[in-house]
Structure 1
Amino acid sequence: MPYEFSTWDRNCVEEHVTPLDGSVAGSIPSWLRGSYILNGPGRMTYGENEFNHVFDGSALLQKFNITETGVTYNSRFLRSYAYTTNLEHGQIVVSEFGTTGKSVTKNKLAKLSDKFAFDKMFSDNAPVGVVKFGGEHYCITEAPFLHKIDPTTLETISKVDLHKELNMNSHCPNPHMLPDGTTYNVLHMVGPTGPKYDIVSFPPTAQEGKSNVFAKPKKVASVDARWKLNPCHMHTFGMTQNYFVLLEQPMTIDVKAMVANTIRDKPFIGGMEWMNNKLIKIHLVHRETGKEVKQKVKCEAFFFMHIINCYEQDNHVIIDVNGYADINFLHALHLKNLRENPNLGNEMDGGSVKRIIVPLEVNEKATPELNLVMIGGSKARAHRQKDGSLLLTPDSITDFSYEIPTLNSSFLRKKYKYFYGTKGDMKSTMGEFGKVDLDTREVKDWGEDGLYASVSCFVPRPGATAEDDGVVIGTVLHSNDKAKVTFLVLNAADMTELGRASFTTASQVPRSLHGCFLPA
């Protein structure tokens, strides 16, 4: 049997405000208490209109609450302008990543004005993740709109427009939060010389006289984009103890195409361009000074969404990332393709976990043949070119990617051994969770026929000292029942199942994109 792509093709039209009780099997650890909140595209239809792409659906928050009496499930749609407007008109009005909305404005001049109004050009639908700024929880996406939510009820509280606040065009939807509550992010801005990436820090609490933490964040550094009309798409960035790590990949936003598509009522995805034969440019920026490392560094090209972790070792910067040959999978996730292409699983690139190693000290007399990577056991390479730049070749750790990576948060930005994620193999008959040992390259997978892994999260056992002492929690979708979802608890050490709670909902259960665990 081929991979069941219907698990990517789900349409939820009814939320569960009142929690549902789950049917529990096995044993869920008594110390695991809290809420697992997921975010992702949920509603795919309004009236007779249907979104074209998996990523277009209106954001649905799903929550699994683990208590001493069991596990419950509830869900709510994010009350974005896009959701409420589409609902009000009974059709898709607001354009999304792969779908152009239908204008309800009759006047031609008003229609043109709407097209180029920033808050009309970019949807405020935020189905990517749930992140924390200033102690509050927000739904986020690449567009500069955040929605504050109540993590207890999942209600939408308010909206933050960072385009108005900070004059930014987009941002990275995976910021880094430090233990003290300071949050770093990369903002996509436009300066006198063209597009740039500003690295900023948001404080743990709002500054005196300010209503929120978003007012005038501290700018730590600014990096110019290398292509003035093609800024890079940057879904994640990295941090080590001393550096910010920006991978400027050849997957870009073609500004000219985007403007043309706006005029012609074509979707945003048409403005995404893969710059053939271009390399990845790596920016290392000192966290303390905000100055970029002068050494020019480039890497063999691949497409990526998620950096797993970065750290420093023996005067090298190690960057682990899920990488793919190209951006074909973005186009593969059009609903028409999922439904009509029986060979899709065989055509999809399953990716791999790639380790990039950047030497921080480069001998100016090094010949191009000499590999400058001095980390034992790694196949990663770094060669000094005649112009003085470094050309890197990644080490492929695994045969497939392990997406939406999660690890013990105590090892973020530090040398680590394990991480967990959803296996990128779509040629098999199921979707699996996996544990990757980065030292031995051993992978332990968990899978069950008819179940498809969605999003997972590592939760350490209280008092644990071992890196993998804890559990991996995650959700799985059922290929034979679109209205069923199961919350799974795995032993993080050996990936054996400890317990599960299953729910049958009133509507279809969609695949989430990211999640976060909030301890009780």
Structure 2
Amino acid sequence: MTSEAGAEAEPAQTDHRLGFLSLERELPAVDLPVEGSFPAWLSGSLIRVGPAKFEVGTHRYRHWFDGLAMLHRFSFSAGTVSYRNRFVDSPAYRAARDTGRIAYSEFATDPCRSMFRRFVTVFRTPVNGRNTNVNVDRFGDEFLAMSETPLPVMFDPQTLSTLGVGEPAPGQLTVAHPHRLPGSTELISYATHLSAATHYQLYGRAVGDTHQRMIATLPAPRPSYMHSFAVADHFAVLVEFPLVTVPMTIPLSGRPFIENYRWRPERGTRFLVVDLETGRFEGGYRTEPFFAFHHINAFARDGDLVIDVCAYDNADIVRALYLDRLRAEDARVPEATPRRYVLPAGGGEVRTERLGELTMELPRIDYDRRNGRPYRFVYGVGSREPGDFPNQLVKTDVERRESAAWSRPGTYPGEPVFVRTPGDEREDGGVLLSIVLDPSAGTSFLLVLDAAELTEVARAWVPHRIPFGLHGQHFPAVSAPND
């Protein structure tokens, strides 16, 4: 077995801290031992990405979002499960492997010391290491690993090998959570173009199109850090939190990317609404300051726009995810609550409601049928007790405002991905797939829950622990490796 960075500390890690130690081991496809019975109808593959290597020689990345990206694939066939994993073969990874140094800037780690190099880094190619550790998606025949940098990485879904880069975003910063326009093959996203006249560029591209469709340009003299956005029917909604920066000061600051942003609660939070068909800016709505990484969903209702997010009262969560804090025995992570913001037709005061009593992050819905449309159920991770590191899976009924949870003592589940049972028309008629860290066993397992009842169906044990990841997708047409 290949040795793992930080392995000498592993015996002492019997809690969540094991999920923030580096994993060096790459495995070819191996069959996994299964407890229970995986549904015979479950096929295709769950592919996830996340940070997996946090040290390079004697150098260390500072933030969870900085770690070198690794792909993980679980493939299903007739009740069996196989697993393989592989690092994204990016310039950042190759430089770390070949030189033993951190060569590229990341979210909160900046090895760039020269003022000239820092200027070029930010305003021409901000993070060209292509460390795409946030999310994966499919666009036509392309499978993409993405981060908040403008170049997605293409990979082979069978071998997980890196193939090259996809079409760049029209800006220096983007989001790793693009949306499909409901009823269309068009993938919608936005980018922030940093300059003396900084703006948000909303754009789309449909399968088969050779060029991006530029939808709207919105001035942003003090751009906000926004990790995601929402699509509601034929509208896009950017939520401009008061975590902002002055673009022209970044090259001279001497700080890594995210440390150039400041919390300015007096600005409040602004909702920017754009018609995706015409590109028309429909106006901005302002409300109290809050912060969010993830949108749950959005939809139109009686002319109003409903925007659901996992909301924090401030941006303290960003600093709480620095690795020195996460690796502390008494680590405390701010908790997000599922919150609804209603933008009234024709303007007026934004209405705010809490959707459920349990905390929630990394939210997922029945995306294929409910994205941009009214929905009822959302799934995510949460904490059993205030101050706990996230240690349970949560299901919230946003119509009845009721919540349920699954947990097992001493384990830490990750993002639950919903997969619908073929032919089942219930919104929660399917299963949830989640990678769960079991520190006492020193490993991880893939959990299958019945989405309706939140009861365990099966689990498949992985030969090693998997560091806490970020996002993944189920691809029903991606077969098992030997098919």
Q: What TM-score results when the alignment is normalised by the length of structure 1?
A: 0.83
Distance 1:3-1:430 versus aligned 2 partners, 3 A rule: farther
Distance 1:251-1:113 versus aligned 2 partners, 3 A rule: closer
Distance 1:113-1:460 versus aligned 2 partners, 3 A rule: closer
Q: How does 1:384-423 map to 2 (within 5 A)?
A: 390-408=348-366, 409-423=368-382
Q: CA deviation at 1:111?
A: 5.8
Q: Is residue 278 of structure 2 the alignment partner of residue 278 of structure 1?
A: no
Between the aligned partners of 1:330 and 1:495, the Cα distance in structure 2 is 30
Q: Is residue 432 of structure 2 the alignment partner of residue 472 of structure 1?
A: yes
Task: Encode CA deviations 1:47-67: one digit per residue, 9 max, x unaligned.
Answer: 122211111110000011111
Q: CA deviation at 1:159?
A: 1.9
Q: Is residue 180 of structure 2 the alignment partner of residue 177 of structure 1?
A: yes
SS at match of 2:38: coil
Determine if contact 2:115/2:251 at 8 Å carries over to the other structure.
no
Determine if contact 2:344/2:350 at 8 Å carries over to the other structure.
no
**AA of the residue aligned to 1:354:** R
Task: Encode CA deviations 1:63-95: one digit per residue, 9 max, x unaligned.
Answer: 111112511111000011111011110122222
Determine if contact 2:234/2:275 at 8 Å carries over to the other structure.
yes
Q: Is residue 341 of structure 2 the alignment partner of residue 344 of structure 1?
A: no
Q: CA deviation at 1:255?
A: 2.1
**Equivalence for 2:217:** 222
Determine if contact 1:300/1:394 at 8 Å carries over to the other structure.
no
Q: Is residue 244 of structure 2 the alignment partner of residue 244 of structure 1?
A: no
Q: Is residue 310 of structure 2 the alignment partner of residue 322 of structure 1?
A: yes
SS at match of 2:318: helix
Between the aligned partners of 1:223 and 1:126, the Cα distance in structure 2 is 26
Q: CA deviation at 1:14?
A: 1.8
* Residues paired across the two proteins, number: 462
Between the aligned partners of 2:217 and 2:389, the Cα distance in structure 1 is 46
Between the aligned partners of 2:49 and 2:308, the Cα distance in structure 1 is 24
Determine if contact 1:322/1:351 at 8 Å carries over to the other structure.
yes
Q: CA deviation at 1:119?
A: 3.2
Q: CA deviation at 1:252?
A: 2.0
| Residue number among 329, 338, 342 corresponding to 1:353 in the alignment | 338
Between the aligned partners of 2:413 and 2:42, the Cα distance in structure 1 is 20
| Residue number among 365, 375, 387 corresponding to 1:427 in the alignment | 387
**Equivalence for 2:57:** 47
**Equivalence for 1:287:** 276
**Equivalence for 2:480:** none
Distance 1:267-1:161 versus aligned 2 partners, 3 A rule: farther
Determine if contact 1:114/1:121 at 8 Å carries over to the other structure.
no
Task: Encode CA deviations 1:132-183: one digit per residue, 9 max, x unaligned.
Answer: 23331111111111110111111100024626xx4x1111211112454211
SS at match of 2:23: coil
Q: Is residue 21 of structure 2 the alignment partner of residue 10 of structure 1?
A: yes
**Equivalence for 1:130:** 136
Unaligned runs of 5+ in 2: 1-12, 478-483
Between the aligned partners of 2:14 and 2:380, the Cα distance in structure 1 is 18
Determine if contact 1:63/1:73 at 8 Å carries over to the other structure.
yes
**Equivalence for 1:510:** 467
Determine if contact 1:323/1:401 at 8 Å carries over to the other structure.
no
SS at match of 1:269: helix
Determine if contact 2:108/2:257 at 8 Å carries over to the other structure.
yes
**AA of the residue aligned to 1:442:** E
Between the aligned partners of 1:122 and 1:252, the Cα distance in structure 2 is 23
Determine if contact 2:334/2:387 at 8 Å carries over to the other structure.
no
Q: CA deviation at 1:503?
A: 1.4
Q: Is residue 5 of structure 2 the alignment partner of residue 20 of structure 1?
A: no
Between the aligned partners of 1:117 and 1:194, the Cα distance in structure 2 is 12
Distance 1:357-1:478 versus aligned 2 partners, 3 A rule: same
Q: Is residue 228 of structure 2 the alignment partner of residue 233 of structure 1?
A: no
Q: CA deviation at 1:114?
A: 6.4
Distance 1:256-1:83 versus aligned 2 partners, 3 A rule: same
Between the aligned partners of 1:492 and 1:255, the Cα distance in structure 2 is 44
Unaligned runs of 5+ in 1: 208-215, 363-389
Q: Look at both structures and tell me which one has the larger radius of gyration over its CA atoms.
A: 1
Q: Is residue 251 of structure 2 the alignment partner of residue 259 of structure 1?
A: yes
**Equivalence for 1:299:** 287
Q: CA deviation at 1:118?
A: 3.1
**Equivalence for 1:384:** none
Between the aligned partners of 2:473 and 2:60, the Cα distance in structure 1 is 29
| Residue number among 56, 79, 91 corresponding to 2:101 in the alignment | 91
Taking every aligned residue pair, what percent have the same amino acid on both sides? 27
Distance 1:445-1:424 versus aligned 2 partners, 3 A rule: same
SS at match of 1:119: coil
**AA of the residue aligned to 2:453:** D
Between the aligned partners of 1:72 and 1:130, the Cα distance in structure 2 is 19
Q: CA deviation at 1:112?
A: 6.8
Q: CA deviation at 1:433?
A: 0.8
Between the aligned partners of 1:438 and 1:111, the Cα distance in structure 2 is 48
SS at match of 2:363: strand
